[in-house]
A = this chain, B = another copy of it.
Amino acid sequence: MLRTRVKEEVIIPAYEGRAIVVPKGHYLCIIDMEGQQVGDFVCFNQGNPGEHVSPVHMRSSLSSIRLKEGDGLYSNYRRPLMTLVKDTVGKHDFFFPACDYYRYKVDFDLEEHPNCHDNLEKALKPYRLGYTELPDPINWFMNNVLDDNGDYVIEPPLSKPGDYVMLEALDDVVVAVSACSQDLAPVNGWKVTPLKLQVLEGI
């Protein structure tokens, strides 16, 4: 059994994002504190910010649109930057975009709704990563339900309070997570609640 201790802990308030460094060999837990809360996640190689976790390449390298324990989080260089080592939920998304200005403007005619894209950009700003377009996210706990035609609906997450995923860093990485700010659809159970990040080291 993996024995660890917490080195750093960060609460992500509802409607906000936070970034954190996870050193190589350390673990990151993303904890759904109250349940049914999606976390939009991006991850950069700290030593080469041009390399980042890339869901489109993950779908190729994993030959799947579902994540399982043991799966690598592959980068645009087709090598894993992290590994999903533990998952208490078993249902996540990595084909859907972060909500953004255009989502709320086009679909809800709202100008200033909090959104994951801007939450992630704000959280990453101090790291000066120099990208131009934010990479696509992994949406932890997001529950897309596909039918046989390839059409889908987004239902509330299956996660209960305290559920989590645990990732191992295979390189020094900068990770950002947003408490998905969509409160006008079922994706977070029609409300937005906090998440918790923990960086752990093995003991």
Contact = CB atoms under 8 A, between A and B. Distances in A.
Q: How many copies of this chain does the complex contain?
A: 2
Interface stretch (A118-126, A145-153, A164-172): A145-153
Interface string A133-174: 100100000000010011111000000000000000000000
A96 B60 CA distance: 6
Most B Cβ at <10 Å: residue of A55, A76, A78, A146:
A78
Nearest to A96: B60
B151 A63 contact: yes
A46 B107 CA distance: 25
A63 B133 CA distance: 23
Interface residues of A, number: 31
A132 interface: yes
Nearest to A66: B150
Interface of A: 54-57, 59-60, 63-66, 76-79, 95-97, 102-103, 106-107, 131-133, 136, 146, 149-153
7 contacts: A54-B97, A55-B56, A60-B96, A60-B97, A60-B103, A78-B103, A78-B107
